[in-house]
Amino acid sequence: MSVKTPITVAHGDGIGPEIMDATIKILLAAGAQLDIEEIEIGEKVYMKGNSAGIAPEAWDSLRRTKVFLKAPITTPQGGGFKSLNVTTRKTLGLYANVRPCISYHPYVSTKHPKMDLVIIRENEEDLYAGIEHRQTDEVTQCLKLISRPGCEKIVRYAFEYALAYGRKKVTCFTKDNIMKLTDGLFHKVFDEIATEYPQIENEHWIVDIGAAKMADTPENFDVIVMPNLYGDVLSDIAAQITGSVGLAGSANIGDGIAMFEAIHGSAPRRAGQNLANPSGLLLGAVQMLVYIGQPEVAEKVHNAWLKTMEDGVHTYDIFKEGTSTEKVGTKEFAEAVVARVGQSPSKLNAVKYGSGKQIATKPVSTTKAKKETVGVDIFLHWTEADGQKNADVLGEELVKCTHNGMKLKMITNRGLKVYPNGFAETFCTDHWRCRYQKPDEAPVSNADIIALMNVIDKAGFDIIKTENLCTFDGEAGFSLGQGQ
Ligand code: NAD
């Protein structure tokens, strides 16, 4: 008798319950050995006053099974509700989000008949750290955090994924021409790790032109790895241009724990009408079967699904007169896949998962550089008494504020240098970054910085935050002002 693998299942909101029922029905019909624990998440839990959308007992189940098959949920708008997806990914350390986007030409209508790419999205960092502040009347801020361990984990995962799945090339997208430190680190780690995989081609594109190329000629891409926000946006685009956002599944992988889902949301307008396409969740579940060591069942489900696509049995979102043969609802689609379990597609390529796909991980490097503080950026909320915002007026006041040789070096407004030698034409907000350093960028102490802040505070300025300027093994760990 086969041993059943415990998994946690959530039916979610909107179309979630319908597509989950369809998915489970197909998995069991193909012989999946699952011991299912059900948990409740999403709207009902939010409405009970739980702002995280998940009850404490549900976490216990996830910690026990370490495998989560999750239907989409509805995140209530506004009102302090936190996205459960982001919380789950971060709490469980699910650092890699794997989103295969494949076209099924000529059975599913698409402008890109040869598309077969996998987006590997970093899942825990970047602007999704969710650290946001309103700092002045006019300015709000969101912190973009990129860590070396975070980059190493996701980039290595992308190369290991390429090895396991026989893919030839890994492409990296960043915006490191602008964000030289954060995206620059992602790109640098990509270049470093790529050298460990000489058998796999590698390339880097700035995300804007990379995204344009992906939307225009997706057949030129294979595996694409990128920071969180770009991956979120571009994976929806990639899925949609295969024919429907309803076709793509996704795996969220951590160390010894994983979550599988569709990439789309709960589509509330389609809910309860037996209309939704369960394919995205089903293909997420196929990734789950490979992950839990049931690759032969994964292969059966995936090939039965491909055969259903090829036979033209389609839900409304991909149904097209002339291409499709039968328009079916969610339940009937599931029955059609079940009826084809054991069959393989004859025109589309059948999938093979063999004895499974092992994705190796490696401990992240721990480097410790020699760190030296060489100055401070002091951020001020400031306007003149009459509401004007003249950088020269501010600069002339701040040059009088000094301590132990630390002097005002420049002021920027929204990153652009406005003092000294700013332009009268530059639009300024009430948010000023004032950089203080000693001559020759000599080291400063925390006590120097605190004393300087006291001087500036006593002069009547509203300090909203500070950032230390540090060098690491002599290399500057801070950017210059634009125009500096
Ligand atoms: P959505 O992905 O739910 O739906 C957008 C549109 O895509 C739908 O109106 C429908 O036309 C189509 N669509 C999506 N899935 C489909 C399917 N399986 N079959 C057929 N058509 C499908 O996006 P939305 O409307 O922006 O978001 C609705 C809710 O889902 C929001 O509350 C959002 O926060 C949530 N959401 C949840 C997840 C998740 O749980 N992983 C992901 C994204 C959005």
Ligand 1 centroid–CA 73 distance in Å is 9
Ligand 1 centroid–CA 433 distance in Å is 41
Which of 458, 412, 462, 461 has its CA nearest to residue 435?
Answer: 412
For the segment 240-268, the average pLDDT, to the nearest whole number, is: 93
pLDDT category at 246 given cuts 50, 70, 90 is confident
**pLDDT tens track for 19-49:** 999 999 999 999 999 999 999 999 989 888 8
**pLDDT tens track for 360-405:** 888 899 889 999 999 999 999 999 999 899 999 999 999 999 999 9
Ligand 1 centroid–CA 429 distance in Å is 37
Q: Is the CB of 246 under 6 A from ligand 1?
A: yes
Ligand 1 centroid–CA 246 distance in Å is 9
pLDDT category at 323 given cuts 50, 70, 90 is confident
Residue nearest to atom 6 of ligand 1 (CA): 267
pLDDT category at 281 given cuts 50, 70, 90 is very high
Task: Say if residue 484's pLDDT is above 80.
Answer: no
Q: Are 340 and 308 in contact (CB under 8 A)?
A: yes
- The pLDDT of residue 52 is 84
Which of 206, 257, 233 has its CA nearest to residue 96?
Answer: 257
- The pLDDT of residue 86 is 82
Backbone φ and ψ for 213, nearest 5 degrees, come out as: -65, -40
- The pLDDT of residue 249 is 95
pLDDT category at 95 given cuts 50, 70, 90 is very high
- The pLDDT of residue 471 is 97
3-state secondary structure of 137: coil
DSSP 249-284: EEEEE-SS-EEEEESS---GGGTTTT----HHHHHH
- The pLDDT of residue 90 is 84
Q: Is CATH 3.40.718.10 the classification given to domain 116-241?
A: yes
- Of the options 3.40.630.30, 3.30.70.1570, 3.30.70.260, 3.40.50.300, the CATH number for the domain spanning 371-476: 3.30.70.1570
- The pLDDT of residue 354 is 86
Q: Is the CB of 73 under 6 A from ligand 1?
A: yes
Q: Is the CB of 239 under 6 A from ligand 1?
A: no
Tell which atom from ligand 1 comes closest to the C-alpha of 74.
Answer: 32
Cα separation, 337 vs 73, whole angstroms: 25
pLDDT category at 75 given cuts 50, 70, 90 is confident
Task: Give span(s): CATH 3.30.70.1570, the chain.
Answer: 371-476
- The pLDDT of residue 308 is 98
- The pLDDT of residue 89 is 87
Cα separation, 36 vs 32, whole angstroms: 11
Residue nearest to atom 25 of ligand 1 (CA): 267
Ligand 1 centroid–CA 270 distance in Å is 9
Average pLDDT, the chain: 94
pLDDT category at 62 given cuts 50, 70, 90 is very high
Buried b (16+ CB within 10 A) or exposed e, 143-169: ebebbeebbbbbbbbbbbbbbebebee
DSSP 117-149: EEEEEE-S-BGGG--EEE-SSS-EEE--B--HH
Angle (nearest 5°) at CA 444 between 443 and 448? 165
- pTM given for the model: 0.92
Ligand 1 centroid–CA 262 distance in Å is 9
Task: Give span(s): CATH 3.40.718.10, the chain.
Answer: 1-94+246-350, 116-241
For the segment 75-93, the average pLDDT, to the nearest whole number, is: 81
- Of the options 3.40.718.10, 3.90.1150.10, 3.30.499.10, 3.10.180.10, the CATH number for the domain spanning 1-94+246-350: 3.40.718.10
**pLDDT tens track for 417-437:** 999 999 989 999 999 999 999
Angle (nearest 5°) at CA 106 between 100 and 111? 65
Query: What are the angstrom distances between the C-alpha of 400 and each of 385, 394, 395, 481?
Result: 19, 10, 9, 21
Tell which atom from ligand 1 comes closest to the C-alpha of 267.
Answer: 3
Q: Is the CB of 277 under 6 A from ligand 1?
A: yes
Task: Say if residue 482's pLDDT is above 90.
Answer: no
Task: Say if residue 268's pLDDT is above 70.
Answer: yes
**pLDDT tens track for 170-218:** 999 999 999 999 999 999 999 999 999 999 999 999 999 999 999 999 9
Residue nearest to atom 22 of ligand 1 (CA): 246
Q: Is the CB of 71 under 6 A from ligand 1?
A: no
